[in-house]
Amino acid sequence: MRVLLLVPALTLAAACTNVAPLTSTGFNTPEYQAQREAQLAGQGGAINPLLAPVDVSQQPLGTSGASTFATGENADIANQTAAALASTSGQSAVPVSPTSGSSSSAISDEQDFAAVSERRSIQSDAARIEQNRQTYEVVAPTAVPERTASGQPNIVQYALSTSNPVGTQLYSRSGFNLQAKAQRNCAQFPSPDQAQIEFLSNGGPQRDRKGLDPDGDGYACGWDPSPFRSAVNN
């Protein structure tokens, strides 16, 4: 009975020892396995699974059909770059130099004391000041022209002469359907200012001959004197 149990155990142990490593690098290499077995048995040192770094190739970089940079202690990188660009474009590299007509020559040097001092002196500045004084002309102020009479009432002056708000009755109005009549008559004017001028020209604010001020506040067709008052106060 013991012989029958021993045979499967030996077969399983043989199968485990004959398993090949998955890969040949890293932790599954034979060297690492041997080192690990020795350490477990107390015969080896510390495990060092790291591989030696691979040396970077020293071959100079380059592209097919284009010249590569030459290496050397005295190589001029700027000239090599220009030569490489010229070879790829089919044109010779020509250094660019600024022309005499560039925009840099047009920059004013008025802030440069050395440059200005070469062109000017105290005597020249004094002569220039004297010339400016001779050509200086004082313009005497004149009187403001008077406003000519246009024959129409001045609504600005009327607005400043009143103080009652819109809708406050100061003058009596009589008649039937005053609001409907005022609405119809006010529609004939392009603006409330024109209606107020017409209202003052025909007896307003005491009289309302054309029915433009039905509430008797002295303002025709909803005209508001508040903007004129605010302009003066500000």
- Between these two residues, 219 and 140, which has the higher pLDDT value? 219
pLDDT for 149: 63
Residue 227: both structure tokens together: 């903007």
Does residue 143 form part of some domain? no
pLDDT of residue 20: 45
Q: Could you tell me if 116 and 109 are in contact, meaning their C-beta atoms sit under 8 angstroms apart?
A: yes
Question: How high is the pLDDT of residue 212?
Answer: 95
pLDDT at 211 (0 to 100): 93
Across the range 114-127, mean pLDDT stands at 86
Residues listed for the chain: 234
Signed CA dihedral, 19, 25, 31, 32: sign only? negative
Q: Exposed, middle or buried by CB within 10 Å (0-12, 13-18, 19+), for 158?
A: buried
What is the number of domains present in the chain?
A: 2
Q: Is residue 60 part of a domain?
A: no
Query: Average pLDDT in the 13-36 region?
Result: 59
Is the residue at 225 inside a domain? yes
Q: Is the pLDDT score of 2 beyond 70?
A: no
Residue 199 forms part of a structural domain: yes
Whether residue 227 is preceded by a cis peptide bond, meaning omega within 30 degrees of 0, is: no
Q: Is residue 84 part of a domain?
A: no
Query: At 118, is the pLDDT very low, low, confident or very high (cuts 50, 70, 90)?
Result: confident
Query: Residue 228 falls within a domain, yes or no?
Result: yes
186: tokens are 């006010």
Highest mean pLDDT among 17-26, 48-57, 147-156, 202-211: 202-211
Inter-residue contact 192 to 224 (CB < 8 Å)? yes
Most confident listed range (70-84, 96-110, 113-127): 113-127
**Residue 55 domain-assigned?**
no
- pLDDT greater than 90 at residue 84: no
Give 120's Cβ-side CA count (13 Å radius): 15
* pLDDT value of residue 80: 74
Report which residue type is found at 181: K
pLDDT value of position 175? 86
Q: What angle do CA 15, 17, 22 make, to 5 degrees?
A: 95
Residue ranges of alpha helices (H) inside 47-177 are 77-89, 113-119, 122-135, 155-161
This model's pTM is above 0.85 = no
Domain range for 34: 2-40
User: Cα–Cα–Cα angle for 209, 182, 149, nearest 5°?
Assistant: 50
User: Is 36 part of any domain?
Assistant: yes
What do you get for the CA distance between the two ends of the chain, in Å?
122
Query: CA-CA distance, 30 to 74, in Å (whole number)?
Result: 49
